[in-house]
Amino acid sequence: MGNSPVPTPHNGAKLGDIAKTVLMPGDPLRAKYIADTYLENVTCFNTVRNMLGFTGEYKGKKISIMGGGMGMPSIGIYSYELFNFYGVDNIIRIGSAGGISDEVKLMDVVVGMGACTNSNYASQYKLPGTFAPIASYGLMKKAIDIAEMQGTKVVVGNVLSSDIFYSADTTVNDQWKQMGVLAVEMEAAALYMNAAKAGKNALCLLTISDHLYTGEELSAHDRQVGFGKMMEIALELAE
């Protein structure tokens, strides 16, 4: 199960407390909202650093939901521990993103088939080239099929996982847009790399919370509770 003791410095759960499939929003309060709204027989397995984690049942299937924080260092820690110390097989990031492409509109659900990045996260692997972080095909196909059955339109393609929220370079969005990138967020690439290294599965589902070119945006409250379509796709991925 890895070289770290369980519980870890960041997660108070014991082995068996966490399901094989974990949904991971950035905001721990969103994790609580999903658990309260959608799950039955819920237990809270983590309160360390207020990064709340819950396990419950959705339509009779065991599933866990845990916050992952903001940025690749944060989700990098939590997803690494889940994959390597807690026996988790599937992590689905469910988050918000800023629209870049003209193809995406406010509240659209984006499936991150690939994750471009300006991060140095991959340097730890000492690869002789550039690694391309991608979603696990099985999870991605299942999510697209579920969305189709639910009547939810999804936009599938490349996203950008950025280390920088407030960029000093005002040209970066235009450059990524020219390469067909749909939206920008801050976590998927690290999650995909951790999954690849561990031989596990990962997927990033995003709801467009603001658009960098139209200027439209959701309120903080809407970001927390208004992503029902994305959540219902992700919850159906429980095994």
Give 22: exposed, middle or buried? Use CB within 10 Å, 0-12, 13-18, 19+.
Answer: buried
* Conformation bin of residue 140: beta by default, left when phi > 0, alpha when psi is -120 to 50: alpha
Tell me the CB-side half-sphere exposure of residue 16, using CA atoms within 13 A: 0
| Inter-residue contact 76 to 190 (CB < 8 Å) | yes
At 99 the three-state DSSP class reads: strand
Rg (CA), the chain: 17
Spell out the residues 6+ positions from residue 235 whose beta carbon is closer than 8 angstroms to its own: 23, 34, 38, 58, 59, 63
For the question of residue 222 being annotated catalytic, the response is no
Cα(24)–Cα(75) distance, integer angstroms: 9
| Inter-residue contact 189 to 115 (CB < 8 Å) | yes
Select from 205, 210, 209 the least CA-distant residue to 232.
Answer: 205
Q: Which is the catalytic residue, given 89, 108, 210, 222?
A: 210
What angle, rounded to 10 degrees, do the helices at 137-150 and 228-235 form?
A: 120
Q: Which residues are catalytic?
A: 210
